[in-house]
Chains A and B, each alone.
Chain A
Amino acid sequence: MPQKVSASLRDALVGEMTNLRAFAVSLCGDRERADDLVQETLFKAWNHLDSFREGTNLKAWLFTILRNTYFSERRKRRREVEDADGSYADQLASRPEQHGHMEMQDFRAALTRLPDDQREALILVGAAGFSYEEAAEISGCAVGTIKSRVNRARNRLSEMLGLDETTDNETPLTKSA
């Protein structure tokens, strides 16, 4: 049901859009699909603003809507497309983002190959700035589960990327020019 939204809430919503997009792109690895996800999230959020209590965590609320949308779509797709190797993630990984240098492309591809739940936990805690407790609430699971997923995600990435203790940790990731 469309409704009148207070200017402050509208501004707060707009303020979270860039983070929401970053979450969507990191989660699904595909910009176009990510913007579809954000669009759907925005639409749902707008129409359910009455269930959001102003003064509580808007960012977490929006992230929850987005991840629920993503995961229910994934479940539907998985039922529809039972491909031989059963992995939609592999498809995504085979067409990585076209920009950024080699190291970042490798990292993006590895991130896409993580199991969904591990990738989600890692992004929420490691990039989006949520605490383990907030991440658990967003994902609807126990704090211990989030911690375990984050550790597994890191271990798996380290394996895929062949990281070891001699790995360079100093060189800036973005070109300065």
Chain B
Amino acid sequence: MTQTTAIAEREGLQPHAADEGLSPNLQAHIGRHLRAVFDEVANEPIPDRLLRLLKDLERSGDK
């Protein structure tokens, strides 16, 4: 028995319902949307408040 099957069974789930992979087509669909959500934020500039914090941290290290 594979480890994932064991986990599914321990949790009372149908192994094939919970753990089996989706078709490549649906996996690709989800992957595309997931990366779009992630990349949208990753492509934004770093907010000022975080840059300010970084400056403050550096300054505190200089003392």
Contacts and interface: CB of A to CB of B under 8 A. Distances in A.
Interface of A: 2-5, 10, 13-14, 17-19, 21-23, 25-26, 31, 34-35, 38-39, 42-43, 46, 100, 103-104, 107-108, 111, 122-123, 126-128, 142, 144-145, 147-148, 151-152, 154-155, 157-158, 163, 165, 167, 169, 173-174
Contacts of A152: 18-19
Contacts of B40: 22, 100
Interface residues of B, number: 44
A35 B49 contact: yes
Contact of B43 (A18, A31, A35, A111): A18
Given A142-B3, A165-B26, A151 B36 contact: no
A13 B46 CA distance: 12
Interface string B11-54: 00000011111110111111111111111111110110110011
Contacts of A151: 4, 18-22
B61 A107 contact: no
Contact of A157 (B3, B30, B49): B30
Contacts of B34: 26, 107, 111, 122-123, 126-127
A174 B50 CA distance: 27
A9 to B, nearest CB: 11
